Amino acid sequence: MRVWDLPTRAFHWALVSMSLFAWGSAELGELAWHRRAGLAILGLLVFRLYWGFAGSSTARFHHFIRGPRAVIVYARRLHLRNPAYHIGHNPLSGLGAVALLALLALQVALGLFAVDVDGLESGPLSHWVSFDVGRLAAETHEIVFGALAMLVTLHVSAIAFYAFYKRDNLLEAMLRGDRCVPETRTPAHLAPHWRVLPGLLLAGAAIWLIATVLGSA
């Protein structure tokens, strides 16, 4: 049964590769590439925000943002070895997805305004803020990176936990889109392909706005 539509999977893996690229380029001091990676992630996040309202049912925020009760109920049953067969996010992973997306959005926003200690390298919107504010943004960028790294570790560990403890292959679902679930489950409502286009336009417009109109990159 189809769980994740193609745009959601493409977003996920593009985000993974761009995040790794952003990390690597920062570590190597290749800040021009780091800025490009950051803008690409910004575009991806804009698309995902749009897809959270216009995408297939499993990609929509109202589908996977659940109240605390649902999260607690699910968390209490987490140790059970039988898979719960959620079509899409379970209440706990929905929470994790929101946390990851929010933290990434914060990270991109901070990067836009960040300035290095020498005033040599800076984010594309840094000329809108003072040196001190830019430095604060850069220092917070560093802290948020640590938080993101922890959250990603938790995410990957959770996938491994489901694979080895619950015998539930979530990785394959995110790669191929399909998952074996009992036929009694209501299938995901898939969005038509054309609906990707407005999201791509929005993402492109956001990148263009920051890179050329507001920015100095």
> Which residues contact other proteins (rule: CB under 8 A)?
115-120, 122, 126-127, 130-132, 134, 216
Quick one: 38 or 94, whose CB is closer to other proteins? Answer: 38
133 in Cβ contact with 141 (< 8 Å): no
Quick one: 30 or 49, whose CB is closer to other proteins? Answer: 30
In whole angstroms, how close is the CB of 29 to other proteins at the nearest point? 9
Handedness of CA 190, 18, 49, 98 (dihedral sign): positive
178 φ/ψ angles, rounded to the nearest 5 degrees: -105, 155
Quick one: 120 or 197, whose CB is closer to other proteins? Answer: 120
Residue 79 DSSP class? T
Quick one: 130 or 157, whose CB is closer to other proteins? Answer: 130
Q: Residue 28: CA atoms inside 13 Å, Cβ hemisphere, count?
A: 11
Using CA atoms, how far residue 121 sits from 7, 33, 140, in Å, is 34, 12, 16
